[in-house]
């Protein structure tokens, strides 16, 4: 199975700041990398698919980049509603494994 | 809009069985791959299984292979997960989700809780 490792496991930032979190795959997943946001008590929501494609309705302050094994999710101009846990997932080869998550907290 | 509603969760003893259901509306169900994903309490997400739109291609996580069976009824716009030989490690919130064309999932239900305990 392809292992997905996210870093950091948590980070804190202020409203208006920009943050970047990373996701590393144990082998190449080409560009089949997705990002999800999950708020407490809610189902996850798809933010970005295929590394950098923004899901419909997702604000443009979210962006993704990378290829192969290394990927990043950047959130610019953080808003209060962005404080949540973020998961990456590879959809290159089944099982479509997830990273362990990065929890973004308010500073 | 697209809606997914899971049911069938509950408390079961180790070694027992449960059958989860997911009713889908607001979309042509038979056009889409479907996926089950679970989340143990306070933990991350685990991809469990998927099935293609016709129901003739499936795959499972190693952790459930041989114990869980995914199925679908396109006429009823429903997805199922038969879970046998349940262990405490299967305790989780089970989400039904619509598979995205790039392999992720773009619509999720609210989940149904499965608790395996004696």
Residue numbers in A near B110 (CB within 8 A): 43
Q: Chain A: give the shortest CA distance to residue B34, in Å.
A: 13
* For residue B103, pLDDT beyond 90: no
**What's the whole-number mean pLDDT along residues A1-27?**
97
Model confidence at B101, pLDDT cuts 50, 70, 90, reads: confident
Please tell me the distance in Å from B14's CA to the nearest CA on chain A.
Answer: 25
Q: A18 CA to chain B: closest CA distance, Å?
A: 24
The two structure tokens encoding residue B10: 């509950």
Residue A58 burial (C-beta neighbours within 10 Å; 0-12, 13-18, 19+): middle
Chain B interface, Cβ < 8 Å to A: 35, 44-47, 50, 59-62, 95, 100, 102-106, 108-111
Helices (H), chain B: none
Contact A50 B102 (CB under 8 A): yes
CA distance B45 to chain A (A): 6
CA gap B90, A4 in Å, rounded: 21
Q: What is the mean pLDDT of chain A?
A: 97
Residue A98 predicted with pLDDT over 90: yes
Residue B23 has pLDDT above 90, yes or no: yes
Peptide bond into A22 cis (omega under 30): no
CB within 8 Å: A98 and B60: no
Which residues of B fall within a CB distance of 8 Å from A58?
none
Question: What pLDDT band is residue A107 in, cutting at 50, 70 and 90?
Answer: confident
Q: What percent of chain A has pLDDT over 90?
A: 98
- Partners of A97 on chain B (C-beta within 8 Å) are 47
Band of pLDDT at residue B117, cut at 50, 70 and 90: very high
Phi/psi of residue A72, nearest 5 degrees: -135, 150
Q: How confident is the model at residue A35 (pLDDT cuts 50, 70, 90)?
A: very high
Contacts of the segment B112-115: beta carbons below 8 A, 24+ positions apart: B112/B6, B112/B7, B112/B8, B112/B9, B112/B20, B113/B9, B113/B10, B114/B9, B114/B10, B114/B12, B114/B18, B114/B20, B114/B38, B114/B83, B114/B86, B114/B90, B115/B9, B115/B10, B115/B11, B115/B12, B115/B91
Instruction: Closest CB to A32: pick one of B59, B62, B103.
Output: B103
At A38-89, the pLDDT tens digits run 999 999 999 999 999 999 999 999 999 999 999 999 999 999 999 999 999 9
């Amino acid at each position: 199975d392809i292992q997905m490792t996210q870093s950091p496991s948590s980070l804190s930032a202020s409203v208006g700041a920009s943050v970047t979190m990373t996701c590393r795959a144990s082998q190449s997943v080409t560009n089949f990398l997705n990002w999800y946001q999950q708020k407490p008590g809610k189902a996850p929501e798809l933010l970005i698919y295929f590394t950098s494609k923004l899901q419909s309705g997702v604000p443009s302050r979210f962006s993704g980049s990378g290829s192969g094994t290394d990927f990043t999710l950047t959130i610019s101009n953080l808003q209060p509603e962005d404080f949540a846990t973020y998961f990456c997932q590879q959809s290159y080869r089944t099982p479509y494994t997830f990273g362990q998550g990065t929890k973004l907290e308010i500073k | 809009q697209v809606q997914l509603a899971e049911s069938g969760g509950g408390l079961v003893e180790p070694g027992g069985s449960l059958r989860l259901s997911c009713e889908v509306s607001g979309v042509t169900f038979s056009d889409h791959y479907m996926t089950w994903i679970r989340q143990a309490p306070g933990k991350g997400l685990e991809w469990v299984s998927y099935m293609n739109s016709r129901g003739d291609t499936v795959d499972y996580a190693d952790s459930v292979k041989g114990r869980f069976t995914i199925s679908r009824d396109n006429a009823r716009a429903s997805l199922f997960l038969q879970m046998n030989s349940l262990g405490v490690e299967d305790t989780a919130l089970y989400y039904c989700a619509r598979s995205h064309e790039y392999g992720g999932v773009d619509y999720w239900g609210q989940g149904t809780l499965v608790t395996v305990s004696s």
